[in-house]
């Protein structure tokens, strides 16, 4: 397999991509992530993944470039990274006792070929008390994560169950991505 260039600054994605290949470098795209008007919430991850991958692919035309973006959606509403501790509390309170979707969009670019896809995982939260939420926020963990939680950290204590790929919730659907890369490279 050719070298993979992961267009991401995420430490979680940088760790997960190594499950697919050891021949990987990671480059931050630096692209402005402003969204166009009228873009559906479910289309955001693929749009941003394509933006990141296309930007980095210009610098690495001989490599397989992968961009990725993950969003948390509840009732058709995007739950982005919290802007403050109060915002984190509000997001976690909203997720309490409910099932939400985590969508990760991926884009693979090599030369003039591009493939974009997404994967959805459903995550069900336990009922959370205000104390549990405040204790979690005090760790600082939720502040840089979509939906204000990290399933790979203490946020796992809130999860009643998942339907779909666990690693998709962490930030990269590794099994699906590996298969997509293999198919993409055969074409």
Does 186 score more than 90 pLDDT? no
- pTM for this entry: 0.93
Beta strand spans in the chain (E)? 4-7, 24-27, 64-74, 77-78, 99-110, 113-125, 159-163
Does 2 score more than 80 pLDDT? yes
**Catalytic amino acids?**
69
Does 36 score more than 90 pLDDT? no
Would you state the pLDDT for residue 32?
74
Would you state the pLDDT for residue 123?
98
Place 84 in a pLDDT band, splitting at 50, 70 and 90. very high
| Fold of the CATH domain 4-186 | Maf protein (3.90.950)
């Amino acid at each position: 397999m050719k070298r993979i260039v992961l267009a991401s600054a995420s430490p979680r994605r940088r760790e997960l991509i190594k499950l697919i290949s050891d021949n990987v470098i990671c480059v931050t795209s630096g692209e402005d992530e402003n969204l166009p008007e009228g873009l559906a919430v479910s289309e955001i991850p693929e749009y941003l993944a394509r933006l990141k991958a296309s930007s980095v692919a210009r610098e690495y035309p001989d490599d397989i470039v992968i961009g990725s973006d993950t969003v948390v959606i509840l009732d058709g509403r995007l739950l982005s990274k919290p802007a403050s501790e109060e915002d984190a509390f509000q997001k976690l309170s909203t997720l309490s006792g409910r099932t939400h979707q985590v969508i990760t969009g991926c884009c693979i670019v090599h030369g003039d070929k591009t493939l974009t896809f997404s994967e959805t995982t459903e995550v069900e939260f336990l009922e959370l008390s205000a104390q549990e939420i405040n204790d979690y926020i005090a760790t600082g963990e939720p502040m840089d994560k979509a939906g204000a939680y990290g399933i790979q950290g203490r946020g796992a204590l809130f999860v009643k169950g998942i339907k779909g790929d666990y690693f998709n919730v962490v930030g990269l659907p590794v099994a699906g991505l590996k298969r997509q890369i293999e198919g993409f490279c055969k074409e």
